[in-house]
Structure formats: structure tokens, C-alpha cells
Structure 1
Amino acid sequence: MRLQNTELMHVEAELRAPVASAQLVRFHFDKPINTLMQDDGNYRLDLCLTPRPQNARACYPNRWNPSRYERIGNLFVVPPGEAMIARSDDCGEQSSLVCQLAPEPMRKLFDTKLEWTDKRLLAGLDIRNANIQGLLLRLAQETKHPGFASEMLVELIGAQLAIELSRYCSDSGESNVAGGLSSWRLRIIDERLREVDSAPTLTELAELCRLSVRQLTRGFRASRGYSIGDYVAESRIEQAKRLLATEQSVKAIAYTLGFSSPSSFCYAFRRATGETPGQFRQSLLKAH
């Protein structure tokens, strides 16, 4: 996968194996992103380790209307043979684990060629599969601190990723999206969650969307494939990551985000990221 403006990308560590490669990458954006990612024959999985720039979104220009941009989540995949334009509304730095996965293992798992439908392309921009994320986090750890038989470990994780990604793609292709939310309702939800404020209640979101809570929860799951409660919780953690990059105290951040106490915030943050807020802040400081 080749990027325009490659001078904005710095590879901090790398491991390679025949089936997969892993890179710890730091991006520096001195202006809002507008980058074309061009295919080199592999799957590209990008798991952000620090918050993405605000309102990160993407378009597949060869497939979609040029004005159609969809939200990018913590983890996205760009399949072989595709070009993707990524955009954002702000600049700064962001770190990711970038995994290049050879297509052959996935081809063997399907009787026919995997078709990247519109539904699958959209699902690939925001992958919330715990198994895939867990494998990539293990890959990031090994890339940062390689040990005995690192290449073999990358190969084994790459094979597991091929299986999990194949399952995810298969499920995305079969899921029923009837009854999903309209694009303007999804946009309103995303805009509300980008506000640095207490987490919205389901009642508030339902009122903004002019729906009942039941219609909202069912429609959101049909559109995105996961619950709106999980989405709100994850969005709050992402807001926390952004605020931890500032000078605000952990206590102030906890109450800003609507947690009942700093301890409940620390518990939720560690459960979601594997680090305490203090440890995450230290890792940000070391990276600069």
C-alpha cells in the first residue's frame, strides 16, 4: 500500500514474514488529511494506537460517489485492488500498527473469489471485532519488543488474522441491513459523540434522531453491526485519549466525560485499552 505524502509517515519498528508484515508507524500531519492510499496487492489493516485526527473519514473513489465519505473507526481494512481516499478535519500526530496481509490465505478460505461489495467495504472501515483487534495488539507488542522466533510468530498471527478477517467479511456480507438508520441520523449521532461533554443517553440520541429508543437501538445495530451502547462507550474512551494528550488532570477528564468518579474512569479506560490513564499519558510523552 502506497500513500501520497509518504514524507509524513515514519516507520518506528518493523517485522516481516512471508504471509504478513507489521509496522509501527507514526504519522505527522501538518494540515488536515487528504491522502490517497493505493493498492500494492495486499490487505492493509490499520489499528490506531493513539486517537485519529478529528472526523477521520474515507471514500472509495472507484466505487462510490466522490462526495460519499464514511467514518473511519479505530481499525479499518483496505482490500487488494482498491484505492481509498482518507480525510480529516484537523492535523497532528497519530500512531498505528499497520499490518500487510497477503491475499493468498484468504483466497484459500473461500470457494470463490471474495467479492468486496458496498456492504463489506463499509463494514471494513470500522472493524469492532475483538478477535481481530486482539491479534493486532499482540502483533504490535511483538513488533515493539521482538523476541525468539519473531518471524514465525508473525506468520502464525497472520494466518489467524486471515481466518478471522474471512469470518468477519463473510458475516458482513450476509447480515441484513433492512431497518437501518438513514445517513443523516448516523451523522447526527457521530456529531454528538464528537462533543467533549458527558456521554449522551439513549433517550437524548433517540430524540435527536426523532425515534423511539427501541427504534434507535434496532436501527443502529442493523446499520453498524454492533450496539449503540458499545459505540457510545468506545467513543467516550477515544475522547479520553484526546484529553489525556492535554494538560488536564485525570480527575478533571473523568468528570468532563461524565464518569461518576476518577476511579470508575480509570477502570473503564484500563479495561478498554489495557493501560491506566497515567500509563497512556506517559506513552504519549515518550513518543514526542
Structure 2
Amino acid sequence: MPEFTVQTLMRSATVSAHDVHCRGECRHRSAEECANATQLVFPYRGLFLRHVGSTQSVADANHVLFFNAGQGYQVSHPTTGGDACLSLSISQPLLSELAPAALLQRRDVPVFHGQSLRIDERAQVLVALLRHSLRNGSIEALEAESLALTLVCRSLGPRTTHAPGATHARQRLVDRAKLLLASDLTRRWTLADIAAEVGGSPVYLTQAFQQVEGLPLYRYHLRLRLAQALDRIADCEDVAALALDLGFSSHSHFSAAFRQAYGRTPSEFRQAALTPGAAKS
């Protein structure tokens, strides 16, 4: 079986969307690769590490990754299960227009400064709506293009994103915590458990995580679990079973957390993803 499978979901002069699945069998750094054009990559299942030179970025459902044109990178998979991502390629003139100048090294050929940004819950919903509706053929081309560009704007907007910022030591501590959480999303972790596993006091870990990610560790973990729900719910008819499978104590607990994060119930999201013309930003 190939390590990668790529399904084209949409292709136009403005934007192309691909669903990329990786088996994740490479535990150590892969051979160096290079993107021909700048791509925005939204992981929605699993996790991998992306290495650019001596820096690394944890790629999970809470982030958008920038694969810059002409920039060499490597990937590794410290956890089992592989990963899946929605990859968007935006026409260069349009991406230069959409991206805030502060994020770009240059505007003529859009190249981003950093490797990634943390995205908010609304961007996660847009990723899921776009992918599910394209896969199921429940969205027309014009609406899909508009939804994709809304996702890009949301993901790059200064009010809805967070760029990592901390010392190298704190960044690596937080990365270890992310890898630990991803290794068992359904486990009901305690702060003491996580701190003991990654090496550091609960207080220091709490402070470091808040500084690096801009939100508390427990909310980061909850967003990862809810992102799994966004991924699976379009193909799931037993929401109660899904809730328990994701580690929620009850169907009502899951539904309340889902609605608070995404502004709609799981059933309402499923309908929006599967009903023609219902995918709205």
C-alpha cells in the first residue's frame, strides 16, 4: 500500500482542495520534500511533526500548516495511526491579497514567516463542512470556492489565530504535552498525569501551555476531541455511541460541548454537511 493517498475534491482557477491521507509509518524524519506552490494544510485526523531546518511544528486539528513554495521540509510520525489533512492551494495573486502582510516574507510569491498558526473552532467547522460537502457532492462549485476562501480568511485573521511564542524549552515541553494528548484522546487526563509524563511541574506546564498556545491545556484537549467528532459525525448515525467513544461521559455532555464550541448541535452540523446548499460559513 502507498504511504500517501491524495483525493482531489475541487479544482478551479481560484482554489484547489485535496484530501490527503498518510499511513504514518515513518517514525523518524522522512527524506526532505519541497512544495511547488504555497499550500495551507489543515490536519483533521491524527498528528505528525513537520521539521524545517532545526525547528519543528506539531500538526494536529488545532492548527493550519504553511507548506511554503520552494521550502524544504521533513515529516515524522511519533504516534501511531497516521494522519489526514485538507490541503488548499490558492492562486498566488489571491493568496497575496488575502494574507496579512505581517504573516508573509514577501507578497509577490506568498511565503509565510512561520510554520503554523493555531486556528479557532469556527475554522475547524469550516474545514469539516468543506471536506464533507465536497466529498458527498452536496455543494456547488461557486459555494465551495466561497467557503474555501472564507476558511482561508478565518485561518489567517489576527483575531482568530494564535502564533506560537515562547522560549525553545517551553515550546518543546508543550510539544511533548501535545504528543501525549494525541496518543490517547479519549483518556481523562489529569494535569498531574500529563506533567509527570512530559517532565515538569503542573504549574509550570500550565503557564507554558498558556503562553505557547494562548489557551488552557484542557481547552486544547477538548478541541482535539471535538475535532474528531467533526471528522466522524457525517458518517455516524449513533451520536450517543460516538460521544462515549470520544470519552464524553454522556450524550448530553457531548452535545453541550459541541454546541458551545461550534454554535450548533451535532445533528444540525450533520445536516449542514450532507444537505445540498446547507453548508454555510
Give the TM-score category using the shorter length: 0.5 to 0.7
The match for 2:43 is: 47
Contact 2:20/2:85 (<8 A) preserved: yes
**Amino acid in the other structure paired with 2:11:** R
Shift of 1:144: 1.8
Segment of structure 1 superposing worse, 139-148 or 177-186: 177-186
The match for 2:208 is: 219
Aligned equivalents of 1:255 and 1:145: distance in 2? Answer: 24
Aligned equivalents of 2:102 and 2:230: distance in 1? Answer: 42
Contact 2:128/2:230 (<8 A) preserved: no
Aligned equivalents of 2:9 and 2:150: distance in 1? Answer: 19
The match for 1:284 is: none
Deviation readout 1:45-69 (Å, 9 max, x if unpaired): 2332xx32xx621111xxx22xx54
* Identical columns (%): 14
Aligned equivalents of 1:171 and 1:268: distance in 2? Answer: 21
Shift of 1:172: 4.6
The match for 2:237 is: none
Shift of 1:235: 4.4
Question: SS where residue 181 of structure 1 aligns?
Answer: helix
The match for 1:72 is: 59
Aligned equivalents of 2:42 and 2:122: distance in 1? Answer: 15
Shift of 1:146: 3.5
The match for 2:108 is: none
Deviation readout 1:1-32 (Å, 9 max, x if unpaired): xxxx9773141x52122221123x36363833
Contact 2:5/2:21 (<8 A) preserved: yes
Q: Does 1:14 align with 2:6?
A: no
The match for 1:247 is: none
TM-score (norm 2): 0.65
The match for 2:48 is: 56
| Superposition RMSD in Å | 4.6
Q: Does 1:84 align with 2:73?
A: yes
**Amino acid in the other structure paired with 1:81:** G
Question: SS where residue 188 of structure 2 aligns?
Answer: coil
Aligned equivalents of 2:91 and 2:158: distance in 1? Answer: 17
Unaligned 5+ runs, structure 1: 245-249, 280-288
Q: CA 1:270 to 1:158, structure 2 compared with 1: closer, same or farther past 3 Å? A: closer
Unaligned 5+ runs, structure 2: 106-111, 234-239, 271-281
Aligned equivalents of 2:183 and 2:42: distance in 1? Answer: 21
Question: SS where residue 98 of structure 1 aligns?
Answer: strand
Matches within 5 A, 1:230-269: 230-236=219-225, 254=244, 257=247, 259-261=248-250, 264-265=253-254, 268=257
Contact 2:41/2:64 (<8 A) preserved: yes
Q: Which has the larger radius of gyration?
A: 1
Q: Does 1:153 align with 2:143?
A: yes
Q: CA 1:202 to 1:156, structure 2 compared with 1: closer, same or farther past 3 Å? A: same
**Amino acid in the other structure paired with 1:181:** R
Aligned equivalents of 1:9 and 1:58: distance in 2? Answer: 18
Question: SS where residue 104 of structure 2 aligns?
Answer: coil
The match for 1:27 is: 21
Matches within 5 A, 1:191-202: 191=180, 194-195=183-184, 198-202=187-191
Aligned length: 251
The match for 2:153 is: 163
Aligned equivalents of 1:272 and 1:35: distance in 2? Answer: 38
Contact 1:221/1:227 (<8 A) preserved: yes
Contact 2:173/2:205 (<8 A) preserved: no
